[in-house]
Structure 1
Amino acid sequence: MKILLGGLAAILLAGIALLLAIRNNGPAVLDAFDRLTGGTRGTRLVAKAQYGSHPAQKLRIYAPADTDGPLPVFLFVHGGSWSWGDPDDYNFIARAIAPAGFVVVLAGYRLGEEGRYPVMLEDTAAAVAETVRLSPRFGGDPRRIVLAGHSAGAYDVVQVALETKWLAASGVKPRGVIGLSGPYDFYPFDKPSTRAAFGSVGAGAESQPINHARRDAPPALLIHGEEDTLVKPRNTRALASALEQAGASVETRFYPGFDHNAPLISLASPWRARRDVDEAVIDFARRVSEVSVPVQAETP
């Protein structure tokens, strides 16, 4: 009996420890689970880089083991309410996407008081520009870059892709943009996180992706869980409607029973094998980044 009780106590303590670890840094725990249950999947960290002097302005570049010719580039920006997060905890994104034939870049950006609007967008745009500059060294095709992000990171990449001024200086034209559980229509600011990151510096309607929908926007894939109470799925519905009305290409996927983090969790092992989020993301990224072969004129 003592052995049984001891075993149950150990399991209980392990469960409590796991819950505390997830609460303190969920992505890091998710990353560890992915590595333990799925392995490296032949994905290699090929470079650590900085695009600015701040420690958060960093890039982590991954490539599949076998790089045959220039590969499309998949840049991912993490979430965290614009106040926390670290690309080094999101290696599972690289292990999910790189084996499908992509160079994957995980980008960080300044957070909290240092990262208030529009700094997070300045950093995201700078990260995109530096990724385009560096990617050829590691087998990437800078002309075929797809931007993706979760939550606050989804806001960052979508706003940068839609509001033309952010990428104008670098001339980068993303082939597509993917948003997971993203906030795209949240003005006026009514949550502590948005008031801190946007309201505290007087941002207005210009800060909202929904107000920058345009016909020539990059194709978009927007994914949301129907049970997301942190960033309600109406954000994705509103942006998709605005893009459709503008004549832009947009695809949506809504998942019943998914909360805010479920789309992100679905990209990690062992959940990756049980859900189709990774398939949707990879399929979209492949389609929009396909090489266009010019039609040659017939020889007279």
Structure 2
Amino acid sequence: MPRLKISYGSHDQQFGHLYVPDSADGPVPVVMAIHGGFWSGQYSLSLGTAFAVELARSGVAVWNIEYRRLGAGGGWPEMSADVKAAYEAIPGIVAEASAVDFDLAQVRLVGHSAGGHLAVWLAGEKDVFARPERVVAQAAALDLASAAERGRRISYIEDLFGIPFESDPDLYRSASPQHRLPIGVPVLCVTGADDLQVPAKVSARYVKAAEAVGDPVSLHVIEGEGHDAFLSPTTQSWRVSRDAVLARSEDSAAVTS
């Protein structure tokens, strides 16, 4: 499937790949995909290419973004600014470059692992052109502060912020989706029961906390699959995620029920 590279900033990591359906009868939903990889520059948007292509072949436009990462342009200030800038580019330069029209009332987010963290964090931002219709959070790192509050140090989270928790607890909490509830956007957490990198209990705790404050949220635990299952089209994790992203707006309530 053809892809179009679009830069949304001047840094060489501020770009995305746009995939659109071959044809459309009218405006199509838009999905912004955010890849994972421990927020590290060792990983790139190519992790999300296959999923983006399948979604576009199924009738939605997909904006698969790159962003500045650890070792590739910056830490938390840069990457949070980038995912927001990439989102804000959708009704502007991305829509203008698209061969099909966008339905900006149907903008959805999907992210895996660290990308799932960024997707749910972004959904909590209020000063954007439109709130996303829903988020599909795949094996997402949804709590960046609770372990530190208990005195546990996690090196890759400290790398993200560049300082330990005790130096700026509010920074950690402001970036932690579980500490930003409620957000008022439907979130489907999909996770593997055998995930060793981001255990299913992380998503379960987020869902419990979100339900407690009235947010629309649901949890789907896939038995027998782990963290990387979301990257393979042969898995249940892939299929559940795909169906949730593609669900029609009138059926979206079922995504979080």
Q: Distance in 1 between matches of 2:158 and 2:248?
A: 35
The secondary structure found in structure 1 opposite 2:196 is coil
Asked if 1:234 corresponds to 2:201, the answer is: yes
Match of residue 154, structure 2, among 175, 191, 203: 191
Q: Which residue pairs with 2:66 in the alignment?
A: 108
| Paired residue secondary structure (1:64) | coil
Asked whether 1:48 is paired with 2:5, we answer yes
Contact 2:195 2:225 in 1 (8 A): yes
Distance (whole Å) between structure 2 residues aligned to residue 83 and residue 231 of structure 1: 16
Structure 1 counterpart of 2:123, which letter? A
In 2, Cα distance between the equivalents of 1:97 and 1:207?
28
What's the secondary structure of 1:204's corresponding residue?
helix
What is the one-letter code of the residue matched to 2:172?
Answer: G
Alpha-carbon RMSD: 2.2
Gaps of 5+ in 1: 1-42, 293-300
1:152-201 alpha-carbon deviations (Å, 9 max, x no partner): 1110110111243xxx0x33210001111111113227332111112527
Q: 1:225-275 deviations in whole A, cap 9, x for unaligned?
A: 11211112221011111111111111211112212111232xx3xx1xxx4
**SS of 1:222 mapped into structure 2:** strand
Q: Deviations over 1:61-93 (max 9, x none)?
A: 001222221110111011111112222453201
The letter for the 2-side match of 1:234 is K
- CA distance in 1 between counterparts of 2:83 and 2:99 reads 20
Secondary structure in 1 aligned to 2:89? helix
CA distance in 2 between partners of 1:229 and 1:88 (Å): 22
Alignment of 1:80-229 (within 5 A): 80-84=37-41, 85-112=43-70, 114-133=73-92, 134-135=94-95, 137-139=98-100, 140-164=102-126, 168=127, 170-187=128-145, 188=148, 190-200=153-163, 202=168, 203-214=171-182, 217-229=184-196
Q: Which runs of 4+ in 1 moved over 3 A?
A: 275-279, 286-292
| Counterpart amino acid of residue 119 in structure 2 | V
Q: Is the 8 A contact 2:190 2:241 kept in 1?
A: no
Asked if the contact 2:225/2:237 (under 8 Å) is kept, the reply is: no
| Distance change (3 Å), C-alpha of 1:281 and 1:212 | same
Is 2:32 aligned against 1:78? no
Bigger-Rg structure (1/2): 1
2:245 aligns with 285
Look up the SS of the partner of 1:213 in the other structure: coil
CA 1:290/1:105 → structure 2, altered by over 3 Å: closer, same or farther?
farther
**Residue 73 of structure 1 contacts residue 102 of structure 1 at CA under 8 Å; is this kept in 2?**
yes
| CA distance in 1 between partners of 2:116 and 2:180 (Å) | 15
What is the rounded CA distance, in whole Å, between the counterparts of 1:86 and 1:181 in structure 2? 17
CA distance in 2: counterparts of 1:197 and 1:67, whole angstroms: 40
The count of residues paired between Structure 1 and Structure 2 equals: 237
Contact 2:184 2:215 in 1 (8 A): yes
Query: Which protein is richer in helix relative to its size?
Result: 1
Alpha-carbon contact 1:227-1:260 (below 8 Å) kept: yes
Q: TM-score scaled to structure 1, two decimals?
A: 0.73
Match of 1:5 in 2: none
Structure 2, unaligned stretches of length 5 or more? 253-257
SS in 2 for 1:122: helix
